[in-house]
Amino acid sequence: MHITDYSEYQTDYQKSLEEPDLFWAEIAEHFHWRKKWNKVLEWDFEKPDIKWFLGAKLNITENCIDRHLESNAEKPALIWEPNDSSEKHKIYSYKDLHSEVCRFANVLKKLGVEKGDRVCIYMPMIPELAFALLACARIGAVHSVVFAGFSANSLSDRINDAAAKLVICSDAMCRGAKQLAVKNTVDEAIKNCTSVEKVLVVNRLDWPIQLKPNFDYLYDIESKGISDHCPATEMDAEDMLFILYTSGSTGKPKGVVHTTAGYMVYAAYSFKNVFQYDNNDIHFCTADIGWITGHSYILYGPLLNGASTVMFEGVPNYPDASRFWQIIEKHSITHFYTAPTAIRSLMQSGSDYVIPYAMHSLKVLGTVGEPINEEAWHWYHTYVGKERCQIVDTWFQTETGGILISALAGISPLCPAHAGQPLPGIQPVLLDNNGNEIVENEIEGYLCIKFPWPSILRTTYGDHERCRQTYFSSYKGYYFTGDGAKRDKNGLYRIIGRVDDVINVSGHRFGTAEIENAVNQNKNVIESAVVGYPHDLKGQGIYVYVICKELPTGEEQNWLRSSIIQTVSEEIGPIAKPDKIQFVSALPKTRSGKIMRRILRKVAEGDSTNLGDITTLLDPLVVEEIINGAVL
Ligand code: WTA
């Protein structure tokens, strides 16, 4: 399961092509199964219908926790660093983690949660968030984590889509200097959710909260005197492990479904090999557990390998831009994994914050979530890695469950701004407009994958047809990622960015249609169009063209801008706030009524020179108005 040098990588890669079943079966041997599989893989990308390790029985938490107890019970499993550096950190050994997860699982059972039930988790980055996920997995409930920065409306949609029976939340949360309500947001969200039978509240900040009898339950009370043993529920390899909502090119986010065995095998395998994890390493991934990176590389991947994983409640720039570096020194972190947007923002704060920190423990640095520009890569390498650490630029998606394209730290060839080569078992291809595989190098194509890997999504919750259409229908026989990429002469992939109507803002995915829907909820708005544009810090910024009843002027424009931003915060969450809003009297549309986004994108980028043919537009004059009024 562990690749130790480049020739081994090549041999394994070859083997994964020639004998995929054997290749994955050998890796799967490293786990604890209640019953082994009868067959490794069955697949059909057209339906799609993908099954791994058929007939096997297991529980992922026995692999994350129980099997480490014999020799590593006292080893730190979870190291929690609070938002405020003056508050004490917490360390949970594997034994402690076992007790905490079992207690949490017993509380869930007491509240009536059963195998297959969906549990929505809406919490800040506190240890109980980790316990909650693992407790669900322990008893076979399906967790659906919703990032705590989403608004009540977004939460409500996700709860309804999954028909969640229980919501787990905290009273409140802290983020930098701010304290924010959490339970109140849940109260607001569930007004429209009939599936929710109970809410379980974990205390974080002693905030006063309203408790509805026989509906709201406090974790501190429910867990009093509860047993810290809870037998793990036996799951089928293909039983659902979790749902994670993500944005696509249509308005409504979809619930990506991951199942038990395949996800487990791939999260563990990719963690071990990409990061070259060694027994005493300490891994710090700064993502939130509300995203796939947090699921796979804060929790499941590290714990499956018996690693020590760090969970940080706060933000990179509080109390100042040295917070990450302090944490790295404090806990002797060996692996640091963050997003390009965080690197760019820390770089902008100035290297003086990082220079005093030697960070001798660091060995490997990682990035994920969006393409990293060369300048940020070099800054990361020089100032954080002190020119001695390996950098892995890891490409993956919520739908892929784990990292598919990346260098293996210290083993594979590196090139700044290139994710690198596919992991063994991953068969990427670049397709042209006609769906033909591009064999030449240095040509941009649509990034697709032509063979399944264990943690590929199985469906989108409650709507299999949507899964088929989104990922498996654009190019017959391929999984389509939605990304454009290039391959260089050494076979290294460079991910260019989304080619669909998805924008990536600070590593967060939004559908342009999703933001338009939110903007249109503002009662002053008649129509809107959203595009992404290059943004120094965020990667992409959100540019909105808005039509109101009458074209607003001066002060009125400022007032409307704030109002629209407020609406988007309420509809989606503050993370989707538009950066620029331009009021227009009309949008460039074709005679058939289709918005010409290409033109809008160009103008938002500040380039109005080469707009292509605009004569087919219903009203070509509108283009001039848009160019003149561009917010640059
Ligand atoms: C983008 C995040 C370039 C890509 C793990 C993908 C990246 C989307 C990289 C998935 C990378 C992720 N280089 N782009 N190393 N990693 N992306 O589902 O556009 O939140 O399709 O998963 O992020 O976003 P998601």
pLDDT at 100: 98
Nearest CA to ligand 1 atom 11: 395
pLDDT at 495: 96
pLDDT at 610: 81
Domains 6-315+394-485 and 506-628 share a fold: no
pLDDT at 181: 97
List the CATH code of the domain at 6-315+394-485: 3.40.50.12780
- 164/122 Cα distance (integer angstroms): 12
**Index of the ligand 1 atom closest to the CA of residue 367:** 15
Nearest CA to ligand 1 atom 24: 397
Q: What does DSSP say about strands 198-202 and 254-259: parallel, antiparallel, or unpaired?
A: unpaired
User: What residue type is assigned to position 87 of the chain?
Assistant: E
User: What residue type is assigned to position 558 of the chain?
Assistant: N
- 165/456 Cα distance (integer angstroms): 26
User: 531 vs 80, 370, 537, CA distance in Å?
Assistant: 38, 17, 17
The alpha carbon of 382 and the centre of ligand 1 are apart by a number of angstroms equal to 24
State the maximum Cα–Cα separation within the chain, in Å, rounded to a whole number: 75
pLDDT at 590: 86
**Index of the ligand 1 atom closest to the CA of residue 496:** 3
Choose one of 397, 403, 406, 575 to mutate for the ligand 1 pocket test, by most ligand atoms within 8 angstroms of C-beta. Answer: 397
Choose one of 495, 508, 540, 575 to mutate for the ligand 1 pocket test, by most ligand atoms within 8 angstroms of C-beta. Answer: 495
From 324, 124, 120, 91, select the one nearest 242 (Cα to Cα).
Answer: 120
Name the CATH topology of 506-628.
GMP Synthetase; Chain A, domain 3 (3.30.300)
The answer to whether the CB of 120 falls within 8 A of the CB of 156 is: no
What is the chain's percent helix, strand, coil content, to nearest 5? 35, 25, 40
The residues near 456 (Cβ < 8 Å, ≥ 6 apart) are: 50, 262, 399, 400, 401, 449, 479
Instruction: Quote the radius of gyration of the chain (alpha carbons, Å).
Output: 24
What residues flank ligand 1, with Cβ below 6 Å? 246, 291-293, 368-371, 393-398, 419, 481-483, 495, 497-498, 504, 509
pLDDT at 612: 80
Question: What is the pTM assigned to this prediction?
Answer: 0.96
pLDDT at 617: 85
Q: CA angle, corner 329, sides to 360 and 383, nearest 5?
A: 60
The residues near 91 (Cβ < 8 Å, ≥ 6 apart) are: 76, 78, 79, 80
pLDDT at 484: 97
SS3 91: strand
Take residue 317 and report the two structure tokens written for it. Answer: 């720039």
The answer to whether the CB of 430 falls within 8 A of the CB of 445 is: yes
pLDDT at 616: 80
The alpha carbon of 153 and the centre of ligand 1 are apart by a number of angstroms equal to 25
**Index of the ligand 1 atom closest to the CA of residue 393:** 15
Average pLDDT per consecutive 10 residues, the chain (632 residues; last block may be shorter):
96 98 98 98 98 98 98 98 97 98 98 98 98 99 97 97 98 97 98 97 96 98 98 98 91 93 98 97 98 98 98 97 98 98 96 98 97 95 97 98 97 90 98 96 96 98 97 97 96 94 93 95 96 95 96 94 97 96 94 88 90 82 92 88
pLDDT at 251: 72
The full set of domain ranges for the chain reads 6-315+394-485, 506-628
pLDDT at 386: 98
Choose one of 300, 380, 396, 447 to mutate for the ligand 1 pocket test, by most ligand atoms within 8 angstroms of C-beta. Answer: 396
